[in-house]
Amino acid sequence: MIRNQQALRNVVRRYATATGPQARASVPNYELFNQRLTKARSTILENKPLTLAQKILYAHLHDVSSMTSAPVPGESYLKLSPDRVAMQDASAQMAILQF
């Protein structure tokens, strides 16, 4: 019985990590993020210093060139292109299936 449990753990462990081209595909495109952030800084943000949250948001903007002014918190809508979305429960699975 104990041998079977160890063998099962080894099988699960082997398949839990991605290797090969799948592992490379999960790395974000940092060059694209830097391009978007540079464009956002020069056009709408007037080279002001940014917080980490602002850098993440502006790096994931769908189309920086369509924005004419800096977004106003609580009033502006942003079109974002997220790379990943973390969800936890069964309602999250339903949301993924819908979209």
pLDDT at residue number 66: 79
Better-scored residue on pLDDT, 21 or 95 = 95
- Determine the residue type at 47: N
Q: Using the predicted structure, report yes or no on whether residue 95 has a pLDDT greater than 60.
A: yes
Provide mean pLDDT across the span 14-18: 51
Task: For 37-81, write each residue's pLDDT tens digit.
Answer: 888 888 887 778 888 988 888 888 888 887 778 888 889 888 888
Buried b (16+ CB within 10 A) or exposed e, 73-97: eeeeeeeeeeeeeeeeeeeeeeeee
